[in-house]
Amino acid sequence: MASLVRPAILLSLILSLILPCLAQNCVSDTFSNNRLYTLCSSLGRLNAVLHWTYHSSNGTADIAYVAQQESSGFVAWAINPSSSGMIGANSILAFHDSAGVVTAITYEFSNFTPSVRDSNLSFRVYSREAEYSDGKYTIYATVALPGNSTTLNTVWQAGQVSGGVPVSHALSGDNINSMASTDFLTGESSGSGGASRLHRKNIHGVLDAVSWGVLMPIGAIIARYLKVFKSADPAWFYLHVACQCSAYIIGVAGWGLGLKLGSESEGITYYSHRNIGIALFCLATLQIFALLLRPNKNNKYRIYWNIYHHSVGYCVIILSIVNIFKGFDILDPAKKWKHAYIAVIATLGGIALVLEAVTWPIVLKRRSRSSEKSHHGANGANVYGGRQHQVAQI
């Protein structure tokens, strides 16, 4: 019964970590006229999502901005070429006009008391339209990115309509924090949007570096060296299991987030990083469930299980470290983070070398004693047998 409960608990923990990471995937959004977009970002505020396709040949972007809002209100999405807030924001607004028809207009905000009306922006808008369905506005537009730049300040908003014209929005909470810097080429978004793509990439990197890249090697060190000391038995085993299971659970959470990030970037795929990550998950899962099939020490198949367990374990550690450095190359964070991880790995490697030097003499001495005992035991048996033979002859 206990052997059935443990896998169930482990699976529930894994699912509880993976499912939130895969939930609310912006790739699941669909659009009228079978429109498709290569990148998307869950903006994290005002229940808004931005989809787009960037055309490097002419510096334009096809935009689909989706946001939840009552039919009596408005939504807006904007690029601010000169600042990061409302003033200077070149906006596209969607709302129901006085005739009840969904309309899309453009307006550049130059002050905090605007009189919104359809007017030109500081950059070209090739097309614009809007629709309302299922409690959401969707703005479709094709715009020329200002200055042919791919990284721009973006702002989005939601508010009230009066007399068929947008008039106001709340001055607190998400309404004053809905802004970010968006890279239309890579899909990264950073700023006050809590679910920004860059922020989630950093979380993915931290989770996987701590789990696969630090906890896994520590767990291996515990198993290899502490079990040499008889006083550490069986504490070393429980420490090893606790360390590796913690690493696996945290690592799976990071892996699930990585899958979500990858699914949101259909035009950008880091093949080697992704494939190594999938291989790591499969091998680590085998390691975890191998605990349930571990033979007793005296079982004749235990030696084969040990070979398998050690081989897969060291393979996971090597692949983990390789993939973490690939992640550093993708994220390209400040050099101090990469240097810090190198220092951690070097420290763990140094500790392993010292313990190797300390434990090998103990192991060799123990083997020597065991060999001597076996030799003496064999000699005693031969002498006793010889005496029996002599008595028999007499």
Tokens standing for 65? 């901005």
Query: Tokens 């502490």, residue?
Result: 226
Supply the Cα-derived Rg of the chain in whole angstroms.
Answer: 31
Q: Which of 61, 187, 183, 179 is nearest to 125 (CA)?
A: 61
Binding site, annotated residues: 204, 240, 273, 309
- Cα 309 from chain centroid? 26
Tokens standing for 208? 């996987």
What span, in angstroms and rounded, lies between the C-alpha atoms of 196 and 192? 8
Tokens standing for 310? 């050690």
Binding site, annotated residues for heme b: 204, 240, 273, 309
User: Looking at the DSSP assignment, which residues form a beta bridge with residue 107?
Assistant: 91
Query: Tokens 């299980």, residue?
Result: 305
DSSP states of 343-358 as a string? HHHHHHHHHHHHHHHH
Helix, strand or coil, per DSSP, at residue 85: coil
4 phi, psi to nearest 5 deg: -85, -35
Query: Tokens 């209100």, residue?
Result: 73
Spatial CB neighbours of 94, under 8 Å, sequence gap ≥ 6: 74, 75, 76, 102, 103, 104, 130, 132, 137, 138, 139
Spatial CB neighbours of 219, under 8 Å, sequence gap ≥ 6: 239, 240, 243, 244, 247
Spatial CB neighbours of 217, under 8 Å, sequence gap ≥ 6: 317, 345, 348
